[in-house]
Structures are given as structure tokens and as C-alpha cells.
Structure 1
Amino acid sequence: MTRLTPETLLAELHKAADVVTRLVSTLDESSVAEPSVLPGWSRGHVLAHIAGISNAMARQLEFAQRGETIELYDGGPEGRTKAIELAAGHSLADHTESVGAALARALAVFDALAPGDWQARIAYRDGTVLDGGLALWRELVIHASDLGTGRGPETWSRPFCEHLVEFLTARVPEAYKFVLQPTGLPQMTIGSGGTSIAITGMLTDIAAWLAGREPSLGSLRATAAADGVELPDLLPWPAALPAPR
């Protein structure tokens, strides 16, 4: 799988932010209130979340530069949910301003990092600044597709899909091992259970399925011992909070 350097990740963050900014510019007032791809969320909810996670990750880095850590969101998960609900109904102008300002803040902090800063500790997943950058990349790319403006998972790059597959290995149930067979690309294996299931299809579709999104380029095929089977249920998305110690 592709290994991202901080320099490569920084370039990817700028690309993802540019995509979000461009998609926001295509919306009109009525479309902000229309449903997104995510059940129960309007496009306004998605935009509020993009602004929220961008500001939250910027804050992680700002505290890390002082040798401190702070929780991702004020008020924890409940604070995150409340902030999204409060901002979801804002006007297009307000969303455009808040998303633009949040992206600019986050990119400015990432751009200012020195080489050694990427390993500074942050509270998010009890990880590092690099982990925070990867998380923001995931959030921007996936939620750009969740806006439902025609830019679906089929636009996700190979490096992004390979990173997502690696990150979402945690969604493989303990009993299974998934042998991923992306069309035209090398095979990948995730999970270590005793039951092997081969999953064949486009890499973007495999990544979308693992991320809980609808594959967009064709149907995935799952087989076990040469027989066709249903795609298995996945475990929840990896928790953002570290396990208690």
C-alpha cells in the first residue's frame, strides 16, 4: 500500500480542501437544506460537520505546538452533535464563510509544521499530528462525496482508497479475513480470522463499502470457498476516543 509522507499528505489536504470549496460554490440556497447522502442529514449538516472537524483538528495542532493536548470537541461527542444541529440550518452564505474560514485555519496550521512537529502528541485517538492530518484527509474526501453533488467515491484516488482500506481494517469482524481483489490491482488481505472471504470489484467500490458508503462503479462480489456469499456485516467505524486504560 502507498505510504504517505507528511509532504504528500499536506498536498492531499490542500487538494481535498479545494474540492470542498468548489462543491460549496456550486450550491444554492435551497440545495443546502436538501438531503445529503447520509441518512437524516441535510447538506447543511454535512457542511457544519466539515467546518467543525476542520476547526477541531486545527485546535489539536495549536495545542500540540505548546506541548499540550485538548479534547477534539468542546463538550465531547455530545458537544459535536449539538454544534452540528445548531449550524445545519444556517444560510448558504454563513456555511460558505464558516467552511472557508475553518479550512483556511486548519491548512495554515498544517502548513506551518516543521518536520519534527508531525510526531507531536494530540488527544485525537491518543495519536500524533500525522494521525490528525490523516483523519482530516478522510473527513474532507468522504464528506465531499456525502454532499451528494455528483462527486461520489468513484473519484477517490488510489492512495486515498489504500489508506482507507488500511485504516478500516478495524471494521473486519474477528472471525473473518477479507481477501480484497481490486480490479487490475494487487490483492490485499485485511483481518486475521479463520474464515476467508474474497471481495472483488473496483478499488473505489471496495473502499466505499468499507466506509459504509454505496459503491458507485458496479456491484462488489463476495465469495467463500468458491461460492458466492452476501457481503458480510462490518464492525462499527473505529472509535475516535482511546480505550480506557
Structure 2
Amino acid sequence: MIDHVHDLASVREATDRLLTAAAKLDDAAVAAPSRLPGWTRGHVLAHLSRNADALVNVLQGRPMYESAEARDADIERDAPRPLAAQLDDVRESAARFQAQGEVPADWDRTVELRNGVTDRAVRVPFRRLVEVELHHVDLGIGYELEDLPAEFTEREIDFLADRFSGNATVPPTRLLAGGREWRTGGEEGTEVTVSGTAADLLGWLAGRRDGAGLEVRGGTLPALPPL
């Protein structure tokens, strides 16, 4: 059972970790490339701020973003800001998200995210946690997939395995890590088994690693569709 109160607390802790780490940067480091192609660290921080506000929109029943173009334009506008402005925005937007999460609501209701994707409101705090944790790694400032809380790593593998489940472009795939097993992919073809550390498995599923650290049996490492 998903506990949105627990997840909101996890978001707060993860945001504090990110802010503490990012505060050690300077303006030049914020303008330097992140691990995401074409994005500086400023782009990542700007995205985190605008994503928090977008998820407030979702919880309040409004469109997540005005449009894809407006989303991208807002990130480009905010990316060049100095470190102090970035940190203030991440902190203040995070506070707005937390405040919305504390408003009494029907957490079983269906909400709409981007591109027509729907989900239960109770899953929105975990979706925010994914943004904060993975983009902290994307900043490339010493926080790695191995540093992620074990509970988060397992839940995100759960989510991504489910996301690719039934996708005919991915062969039937058995995933093994840390004594746990997942299945994903389509139903046609020979099953492939992919095993390794939870961090390497998450990195591959989330598009953060190429899978070189994983062991593959029964075929080659499947090519995953973009997230």
C-alpha cells in the first residue's frame, strides 16, 4: 500500500540532501554540463523547480504544464541563473509542493500528468521523489546511484519494470538484483535474464547507465524505449 505521507517525508529528506550538496557549488559549476546531454546543472535545477510547481498543478486539478513548449522555455529561461537564485527556487518550489501535499484531499482520485498520462494522486509524491533523487545523480556532484536509499531503488525498479511490461519492442525479460526478481517486456520471443546490483539495474532501466555492469543470459541486453 502506498503511503503518501511517508513519501512526502522522503521527498523532504531527498530535497534537503540535494540542497546541501548543491550549496557547495559556485556559479561556474552551475553553468557547467550535467550528466544529461545538452543540459547544464542549471538546467537540472531549473527543471526540478518547475517540476515541483507542475505537480502542484496536477494535485490542484490543472494541466501539469501549459504546453510542452512552455515547459521547455521556462527551463531555458531559468537555467542561466546564479547558484543562489537556483537554490532559493528549488527550496521555495519544494515548500509549495509540500504544502499542497498536506491539504486534505481524496488521494485515491485520478489525476492527469503530461501527455495524457493518468495516475492516482497517492502516487504523485513518489513521482516527485523520483525527480529529486535521479536528478541529484544527474548533477554529477558526488551523489551516485549506489547512494540512493535501498527502498527508493527497489520501488523505482518496480515502477520501471511495470512501465516496460507488455511492451512488444522489449523481449520477455527477467530482472534479478539483491535477492529480488522482476519481469518485464513483451510476451513473444525467448526470455532474457538480466542480473546485477540494484544500482546497475536501476541505472540501465532509467537510462542512466548502458548496462555494461549487468550480466545477461539467454540473449543480448534488450534495447529499452525512451522514458
TM-score by length of 2: 0.89
Q: Residues 204 and 215 of structure 1 are in contact (CA less than 8 Å); yes or no, is this contact kept in structure 2?
A: no
Q: How many equivalent pairs are there? A: 220
- Which consecutive unaligned segments of at least 5 residues does structure 1 have? 64-68, 238-245
Q: Per-residue deviation at 1:215?
A: 6.9
1:177-188 equivalence runs, <5 A: 177-182=172-177, 184-188=178-182
SS where residue 203 of structure 2 aligns? Answer: helix
Deviation at 1:192, TM superposition (A): 4.1
User: 2:15 matched to which residue of 1?
Assistant: 17
Amino acid at match of 2:180: P
8 Å contact kept, 2:192–2:220: no
Question: Residue 107 of structure 2: SS of its match in structure 1?
Answer: helix
Which residue in 1 is equivalent to 2:152? 160
Asked whether 1:139 is paired with 2:128, we answer: no
Task: Give the conservation status (yes or no) of the 8 Å contact 1:48–1:99.
Answer: yes
Q: Distance in 1 between matches of 2:171 and 2:154?
A: 19
Partners of 1:43 and 1:144 in 2: CA distance: 10
1:233 equivalent to 2:223? Answer yes
SS at match of 2:49: helix
TM-score w.r.t. structure 1 length?
0.83
In structure 2, the partner of 1:196 is 191
Q: Distance in 2 between matches of 1:157 and 1:34?
A: 27
- Distance in 2 (CA, whole Å) between partners of 1:34 and 1:9 is 31
Q: Distance in 1 between matches of 2:75 and 2:225?
A: 25
What do you get for the CA RMSD once the two structures are aligned?
1.9
The residue number in structure 2 matching 1:78 is 69
Per-residue CA distance 1:27-66 (angstroms, 9 max, x = gap):
11110001101011000000000001011112222x2xxx
User: Counterpart in 2 of 1:214?
Assistant: 209
- Selected match of 2:164 from 166, 171, 175: 171
